[in-house]
Structure 1
Amino acid sequence: MTYQTVAEGTPDRGRTPALAEGLRERKKRDKAERIFEVATRLFAEHGYSHVTTQQIADVAGVGTGTLFRYVGSKAELLVKVMNERLRLGTEQGIGLARQGAPPTDAILAMLAPLGTESLTHPENTIVYQRETLFGSGPHSDLAAQRVSQVEDAIRTVLELHTRGSGSRAPDLSDVAHVIYATVYMDLVRVGVGRASVADLPERIRHSISFLVENLVPDPG
Structure 2
Amino acid sequence: MSSSTSRPEPATVSADRPPGRRERNKQDKLHRILEAATELFTEQGYSAVTTQQIAEAADVGIGTLFRHAGSKAGLLMLVMNEQLRLGVERGLALARSGAAPTDAILALVTPLVDASSRHPENTAVYQRETLFGTGPERETATAQVARIESAIEEILRSRTTSRPAHDLDRAAHAVYSTMYMDIVRVCVGRAPADDLTLRLRGSVDHLLDALLPPAAGETRTPPGRGRSRG
Same fold (TM over 0.5): yes
Residue matched to 1:77: 75
Q: Under a length normalisation based on structure 1, what TM-score does the superposition of the two structures give?
A: 0.85
Residue matched to 2:42: 44
Cα displacement (A) at 1:24: 2.7
In the alignment, the residues of structure 1 paired with residue 21 and residue 197 of structure 2 have an alpha-carbon distance, to the nearest angstrom, of 46
Deviations 1:44-81 (A, max 9, x none): 11111111100000111111112111211111111111
Structure 2: which amino acid aligns with 1:54?
Q
Which segments of 5 or more consecutive residues in structure 2 lack a partner in the other structure?
1-18, 220-230
Structure 1: which amino acid aligns with 2:193?
V
In the alignment, the residues of structure 2 paired with residue 105 and residue 152 of structure 1 have an alpha-carbon distance, to the nearest angstrom, of 16
Deviations 1:158-208 (A, max 9, x none): 011112x4x668621111111111111111111111111122111111111
Checking the alignment, whether the CA contact within 8 Å between 1:31 and 1:62 is kept in structure 2 is yes
1:21-40 → structure 2 map (5 Å cutoff): 22-40=20-38
In the alignment, the residues of structure 2 paired with residue 169 and residue 66 of structure 1 have an alpha-carbon distance, to the nearest angstrom, of 45
In the alignment, the residues of structure 2 paired with residue 145 and residue 131 of structure 1 have an alpha-carbon distance, to the nearest angstrom, of 13
Residue matched to 1:197: 193
Residue matched to 2:60: 62
- What do you get for the CA RMSD once the two structures are aligned? 1.7
Match of 2:204 among 193, 205, 208: 208
Which segments of structure 1 move beyond 3 Å, counting only runs of 4 or more?
167-170
Cα displacement (A) at 1:209: 0.9
Structure 2: which amino acid aligns with 1:193?
G
| SS of alignment partner, residue 48 of structure 1 | coil
Checking the alignment, whether the CA contact within 8 Å between 1:107 and 1:154 is kept in structure 2 is yes
Report which of the two structures shows the higher radius of gyration computed on alpha carbons.
Answer: 1
Checking the alignment, whether the CA contact within 8 Å between 2:55 and 2:65 is kept in structure 1 is yes
In the alignment, the residues of structure 2 paired with residue 31 and residue 25 of structure 1 have an alpha-carbon distance, to the nearest angstrom, of 10
Q: Does 1:174 align with 2:170?
A: yes
Checking the alignment, whether the CA contact within 8 Å between 1:162 and 1:217 is kept in structure 2 is no
Q: Under a length normalisation based on structure 2, what TM-score does the superposition of the two structures give?
A: 0.81
1:117-128 → structure 2 map (5 Å cutoff): 117-128=115-126
Residue matched to 1:113: 111
In the alignment, the residues of structure 2 paired with residue 60 and residue 170 of structure 1 have an alpha-carbon distance, to the nearest angstrom, of 46
| SS of alignment partner, residue 49 of structure 1 | coil
- Structure 1 residues 194, 63: closer, same or farther in 2, change over 3 A? same
- Structure 1 residues 168, 28: closer, same or farther in 2, change over 3 A? closer
In the alignment, the residues of structure 2 paired with residue 142 and residue 63 of structure 1 have an alpha-carbon distance, to the nearest angstrom, of 25
In the alignment, the residues of structure 1 paired with residue 164 and residue 55 of structure 2 have an alpha-carbon distance, to the nearest angstrom, of 54
Deviations 1:112-167 (A, max 9, x none): 1111111111111111111111112221111000111011000000011112x4x6
1:106-185 → structure 2 map (5 Å cutoff): 106-163=104-161, 165=162, 171-185=167-181
- Structure 1 residues 202, 26: closer, same or farther in 2, change over 3 A? same
Between the two proteins, what is the percent identity of the paired residues? 57
